[in-house]
Chains A and B, each alone.
Chain A
Amino acid sequence: MTKQAILRVEGYCKQFVLHEQRKVIPSSHDVDLEVFSGSLTALVGPTGAGKSSLLKGIYRTYLPSAGRLIYTTADGRQIDLARADEHRILQLRRNEIAFVTQFLRFLPRQVTEDVVAQPLVQRGRPLEEARALARDMLAAMNMPRRLWGISPATFSGGEKQRVNLARGLVAKPRLLLLDEPTASLDLKTSDLVVGLIEKLKQEGVAMLAIFHQPELVKRVADRVVELKPPIMTDSPLEEIA
């Protein structure tokens, strides 16, 4: 039996048109891949191959320039994330698709456990319940308890990244996008993250991920997709009329 992909990327391209400089900057180029439930697809390739651009296109932080991003929703419908209505995207972000980026973005003045609880609150969980789950997640990430009640503003890079991961994982998304989630973590914490990723796989979460360390790809990836840098002419910047 062949399993159906939860996300199918067909011919995805992203380029940036910079009006002021009258330039087109190519990024992801003609990407095809599939992502399955309970499995992790790793993106590899040199800097500038458009790995992050693909993740951002799927999350619609970037507007895709070409291609289709066919996502199968929890209720079995197929939608093209590249073209879906913005309200639909917001709904999917709230309920199904999570994105852990390299940098933690959080509301200023919000304490760590509330930052992590946020995705649950947005799904309508009562605040206290959401906080309890957030605390469990922070504990699983080995975050010192004394940090839970303060804002992540003053945290180290590794601590922020753990908060970021905890927030991405807490609501058990159906599709999880990971952009170098372990870049500033020590070995021990990376091991922890590997454990969590394995657990998510068992729970059926589909993951598409970029890892800083090649050995991590070996350890957790079920599929590896290599992105090639866009074809350059003389210069990476092409003049536009």
Chain B
Amino acid sequence: MDRVLKVRNLSKRYNKGCPACYRKTGADFDSNICPDCGSVVAAHDVSFDLYAGEILGIMGESGSGKSTAVKCLYFDQEPTGGSATFYDQGEAYELFELNKAEQRRLVNQRFGMVYQNPHQGLNFEISAGGNIAERLLMSDVDNYDRIRQRAVSLLTRTEVLPERMDEMPKNFSGGMQQRVQIAKALATSPPLLFLDEVTTGLDLSVQAAILDLILEIQQQSHTAMIVVTHDLGVIRLLADRTLVMKYGRVIETGLTDQILEDPQHAYTQRLVASAL
């Protein structure tokens, strides 16, 4: 089994902080705000491993730090502490020690990100096909015909009619925008894909189709994925293993069926009981 990502003690704190920040926040204190200095501890001491082909779920309510953790890994935010190692094509990259150019290369070519809000992941000023072309151009494909071919095949795979590839994303429905976002993320066949609340706010039938698509991608391409969600249904359907976060801490981790059938932490028990 090949490890794709190793995250150790990842922390993200807003504001200067004080020595008490980590000691006086977290699930045991029902708060992520330090009582002494008022700093927000968005995530602290997050550790996990991710293997090729695996889907890891990160579950928690809003404010639990689940998105923060992923944003640090995708360089959308700068972590306060911890390390993350990305293993790719025989190399090991210490993510938080890379310079901006190296970070950009990974984001453009080796990582894929699908945001809850398509406005974050897509450029709304250019066409659906243009969005995919943009990403391909930033990697190493620069032949016009090949880019267009690849865009057609990606959109076909994510079930967006290729005839619509020259239309602007704003003309698309929410579900369709998500599909274009997924197509764009997959353009460079990245070994690691981040999915941040990708089905939240969509109609149920559209959610189902997007989830089917994600599973299909995982089975066909063996892409490792981190799925951030507050939805137990999404976790049940997609994730092999699950991390449960609360007030910036991982309070429980386990095989997904174990988390759902034999949750250990009081909070997870409450969460599972309220969903079933």
Chain A positions within 8 Å of B, measured between CB atoms, are: 16-20, 56, 60-63, 86-87, 89-91, 107-109, 121
Cβ < 8 Å to A, chain B residues 236-276: 237, 240-241, 253-255, 257-258, 261-262, 264-266, 269-270, 273
In the complex, residue of chain A having the shortest beta-carbon distance to the beta carbon of B258 = A61
Contacts of A107 in B (CB 8 A): 215, 237
Task: Give which listed residue, B208, B262, B270, contacts A61 with CB less than 8 A.
Answer: B262
Which 3 pairs from chain A and chain B are nearest by CB?
A19-B266, A62-B262, A61-B257
In the complex, residue of chain A having the shortest beta-carbon distance to the beta carbon of B253 = A86
B269 x A87 contact (CB < 8 A): no
CB distance from B30 to the nearest CB of A (A): 14
A109 x B262 contact (CB < 8 A): no
A87 x B1 contact (CB < 8 A): yes
Knowing A87-B49, A107-B215, A121-B219, say if A20 contacts B255 (CB, 8 Å). no
A109 x B212 contact (CB < 8 A): yes
Task: Give which listed residue, B208, B212, B241, B266, contacts A90 with CB less than 8 A.
Answer: B241
Contacts of B265 in A (CB 8 A): 19
When chains A and B are docked, how far (Å) is the Cα of A108 from the Cα of B234?
A: 12
When chains A and B are docked, how far (Å) is the Cα of A17 from the Cα of B266?
A: 9
B208 x A63 contact (CB < 8 A): no
* Interface membership of B87, Cβ < 8 A: no
Contacts of B124 in A (CB 8 A): none
CB distance from B265 to the nearest CB of A (A): 8
Contacts of B86 in A (CB 8 A): none
- Total A-B contacts with CB atoms under 8 angstroms apart: 47
When chains A and B are docked, how far (Å) is the Cα of A18 from the Cα of B268?
A: 11
B262 x A63 contact (CB < 8 A): yes
Knowing A107-B215, A107-B237, say if A62 contacts B261 (CB, 8 Å). yes
When chains A and B are docked, how far (Å) is the Cα of A62 from the Cα of B273?
A: 16
Query: For this complex, into which size category does the number of interface residues on chain B fall?
Result: 20 to 34
A91 x B270 contact (CB < 8 A): no
When chains A and B are docked, how far (Å) is the Cα of A107 from the Cα of B237?
A: 7
B269 x A18 contact (CB < 8 A): yes
Residue from B51, B258, B264 having most chain A Cβ neighbours under 10 A: B258
A20 x B270 contact (CB < 8 A): yes
In the complex, residue of chain B having the shortest beta-carbon distance to the beta carbon of A91 = B1
When chains A and B are docked, how far (Å) is the Cα of A58 from the Cα of B264?
A: 17
CB distance from B207 to the nearest CB of A (A): 11
Knowing A60-B255, A62-B262, A90-B240, say if A108 contacts B1 (CB, 8 Å). no
Contacts of B241 in A (CB 8 A): 86-87, 90
Contacts of B219 in A (CB 8 A): 121
Contacts of B51 in A (CB 8 A): 87
B254 x A86 contact (CB < 8 A): yes
In the complex, residue of chain B having the shortest beta-carbon distance to the beta carbon of A122 = B219
Listed A/B pairs (27) with beta-carbon separation below 8 Å: A17-B264, A18-B269, A19-B269, A20-B266, A20-B269, A20-B273, A56-B262, A60-B258, A61-B255, A61-B257, A61-B258, A61-B261, A62-B262, A63-B254, A63-B262, A63-B264, A86-B241, A86-B254, A86-B255, A87-B54, A90-B54, A90-B240, A90-B255, A91-B1, A107-B215, A107-B237, A121-B219
Please, what's the 1-or-0 string for B55-87, where 1 marks a CB less than 8 Å from any CB in chain A? 000000000000000000000000000000000
When chains A and B are docked, how far (Å) is the Cα of A107 from the Cα of B213?
A: 13
In the complex, residue of chain A having the shortest beta-carbon distance to the beta carbon of B262 = A62
Contacts of A60 in B (CB 8 A): 255, 258
B262 x A16 contact (CB < 8 A): yes
CB distance from A55 to the nearest CB of B (A): 12
When chains A and B are docked, how far (Å) is the Cα of A49 from the Cα of B162?
A: 59
CB distance from B204 to the nearest CB of A (A): 11
CB distance from B22 to the nearest CB of A (A): 24
B258 x A62 contact (CB < 8 A): yes
CB distance from A115 to the nearest CB of B (A): 13
Contacts of A108 in B (CB 8 A): 208
Contacts of A63 in B (CB 8 A): 254, 258, 262, 264
CB distance from A46 to the nearest CB of B (A): 22
